[in-house]
């Protein structure tokens, strides 16, 4: 059964004349008559008494009338609800981002973007790099926010998944400070240096290894704690547990407040790009407006 049949039924019950009802429904009389017959075939009994003019409902038709009214009303309400939900969902931009970027970069960057576009509805999921890549590749996110460096492979299909470099950062060596504000650990300390390490299979873990190789620290660092989240390593660093390599932006506030101290040399600090990826297979006005602004800035 189709909703059109129910609306035809109610139109004929109101007008009582096939020709007038067909005009009201904006279809031919033959098509209208055929649909009424289809409805009666579905019901298994005549719903209109055609022996009188205008036609009137049969007892079965009278019994069915309220059901038809309630069903059409419920379906219309449901249709409106679905369309409203679809419009609301279309206005929400879905992001997936590395944990560090989700915490330290995304909020101020979104504020900057909103200053140009107005209020932006967003939904953000924090993931590791493989989770981010999976989300953009399977179409569950509009945008992927991650770091990029030549030493770490990332999504290479720029035709389907174009990217825009929206910021740059550096990996720096940091240490907690003592009561006088001096760093508790330095790269040139004698003996073993307690090291707070990213998990080696993470993006920042691989970039940290670039730092270690540049500084020739392979034999001096003694890993005492490993975590895949920069905020966790920063907390351990603030507690004075060891030295860590962190994105400068992730440690910016603590460095400014004198709670952490940079201990590496600038020439050893690799630059990492912050990139925004998208899939060309997902497109709608809100997404395209955001993408254009991200490329312009």
Report whether 102 contacts 124 (CB < 8 A): yes
pTM: 0.67
pLDDT value of position 284: 85
Q: What confidence score (pLDDT) does residue 151 get?
A: 85
What integer pLDDT is reported at residue 267 of this predicted model?
73
- State the pLDDT at residue 88: 53
Contacts of residue 40, defined as CB under 8 A and 6 or more positions apart, other chains included, come to 46, 47, 48
Prior bond of 87 cis (ω within 30°)? no
For residue 16, what are its two tokens? 């009582």
How confident is the model at residue 83, as a pLDDT? 58
Candidates 96, 88, 105; CA nearest to 142 is 96
Report the candidate in 230, 239, 229 with the shortest Cα–Cα distance to residue 184. 239
Cβ neighbours of residue 21 closer than 8 Å, sequence gap 6 or more: 8, 11, 12, 14, 15, 32
Write the pLDDT tens digit of every residue in 19-67.
Answer: 999 988 888 999 999 999 999 999 999 999 999 999 999 999 999 999 9
DSSP 86-154: HHHHHTEEEEEEEHHIIIIIHHHHHHHHHHHH---EEEEEEE-HHHHHHHHHTTS-SEEEEEEBTTB--
* 8 Å CB contact between 92 and 122: yes
| Segments in the chain below pLDDT 70 | 1, 80-90
Domains and CATH numbers, the chain: 3-88 (1.10.10.10), 91-167+273-296 (3.40.190.10), 168-272 (3.40.190.10)
Write out pLDDT tens, residues 198-225: 998 888 999 999 888 888 888 889 999 9
* Residue located via tokens 């970039």: 207
141 near 135, Cβ under 8 Å?
A: yes
Furthest-apart CA pair in the chain: how many Å? 108
Tell me the two tokens of residue 128. 């590791």
Residue 100: phi and psi, rounded to 5, are: -60, -45
């Amino acid at each position: 059964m189709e909703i059109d049949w129910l609306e035809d039924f109610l139109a004929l019950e109101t007008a009582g004349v096939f020709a007038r009802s067909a005009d009201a429904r904006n279809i031919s009389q033959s098509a209208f008559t055929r649909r009424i017959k289809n409805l009666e075939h579905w019901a298994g009994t005549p719903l209109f008494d055609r022996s009188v003019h205008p036609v009137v409902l049969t007892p079965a038709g009278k019994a069915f009338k309220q059901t038809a009214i309630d069903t059409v009303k419920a379906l219309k309400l449901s249709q409106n609800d679905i369309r409203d939900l679809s419009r609301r969902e279309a206005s929400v931009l879905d992001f997936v981002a590395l944990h560090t970027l989700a915490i330290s970069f995304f909020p101020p960057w979104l504020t900057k973007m909103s200053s140009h576009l107005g209020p932006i509805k967003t939904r953000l999921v924090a993931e590791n790099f493989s989770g981010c890549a999976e989300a953009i590749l399977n179409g569950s996110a509009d945008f992927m926010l991650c770091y990029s460096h030549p030493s770490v492979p990332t999504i290479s299909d720029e035709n389907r998944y174009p990217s825009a470099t929206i910021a740059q950062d550096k990996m720096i060596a940091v240490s907690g400070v003592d009561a006088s504000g001096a760093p508790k650990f330095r790269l040139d300390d004698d003996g073993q240096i307690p090291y707070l390490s990213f998990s080696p299979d993470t993006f920042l873990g691989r970039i940290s290894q670039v730092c270690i190789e540049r500084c020739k620290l392979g034999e001096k660092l003694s890993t005492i704690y490993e975590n895949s989240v920069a905020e966790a390593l920063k907390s351990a660093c603030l507690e004075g547990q060891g030295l860590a390599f962190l994105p400068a932006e992730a440690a910016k506030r603590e460095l400014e407040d004198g709670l952490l101290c940079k201990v590496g040399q600038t020439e050893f600090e690799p630059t990492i790009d912050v990139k925004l990826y998208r899939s060309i297979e997902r497109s709608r006005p809100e997404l395209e407006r955001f993408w254009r602004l991200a490329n312009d800035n």
